Amino acid sequence: MGSAFTVRHTVEDDWPLVRELRIENATDNPISYGATLETTLGMTEDDWRLRARRGQGVDTTSLAAVDDRSGRWIGMMSAQVGDEDGIDPVLTGVFVSPAFRGRTHGVADALLGGIVDWAGRRADRLRLYVYEHGTPARRFYTRHRFVETGRTRPVGFADGVTLEMVRVLEHVGRQGSEMAGRWQDHRMFQRLRDDPPVAPLG
């Protein structure tokens, strides 16, 4: 049976919760976060406040999945408009706590749905970079209609490269706010509970 959770935008006052989840992220899979645990532990309160208020930005967004029963943060995804490789929105900071991964829970699907909704009101494409050896993550993105472009980036602090993937988006327009509300309802994913779960994100 799937988990009951809510997806919402982060705000600056969430910084201690952002820090807590990102430390878990950097411990479990530093490549998905883009920083080592040592670097993450060395970040200041100002650093965390900056990351938390991305959910309130004009050209950025940050979503958290919160377990309805415990209040624990169980996943995050962020995005920004453009980077050094182009002006299209870019998905970043993808993490779901190990116990809440897979289609049965629907956490990753809900978070990505919110990001796609946000990006679709700004551009025709959503880009991301995924670790070349992150097979479960690559399968997840492929299921959500992302395709590899052939562009790569070095990880930097670990061996290997990340692969660029792109999804063509439908413009959400004025229906965006309604769609965003729907992503907050975990029950829309309960229909997936009888499907075989996918492997956790890598």
Among candidates 75, 89, 63, which has minimal Cα distance to 146? 89
Instruction: Say which residue, 74 or 183, is predicted with more confidence.
Output: 74
Measured CA to CA, the distance from residue 52 to residue 10 in angstroms comes to 6
Among candidates 20, 9, 19, 28, which has minimal Cα distance to 49? 19
> Could you report the per-residue pLDDT of 79-114, keeping only the tens digit for each?
999 999 999 999 999 999 999 999 999 999 999 999
Measured CA to CA, the distance from residue 44 to residue 73 in angstroms comes to 20
Lowest mean pLDDT segment, chosen from 3-17, 29-43, 44-58: 29-43
- φ/ψ (deg, to 5) at 57: -80, 170
Measured CA to CA, the distance from residue 36 to residue 42 in angstroms comes to 10
pLDDT(144) > 90: yes
Mean pLDDT of 173-199: 37
pTM of the predicted structure, to 2 decimals? 0.83
* Residue 81 to residues 62, 73, 76, 118, Cα–Cα distance (Å): 12, 25, 17, 10
Token readout for 119 is 């990006």
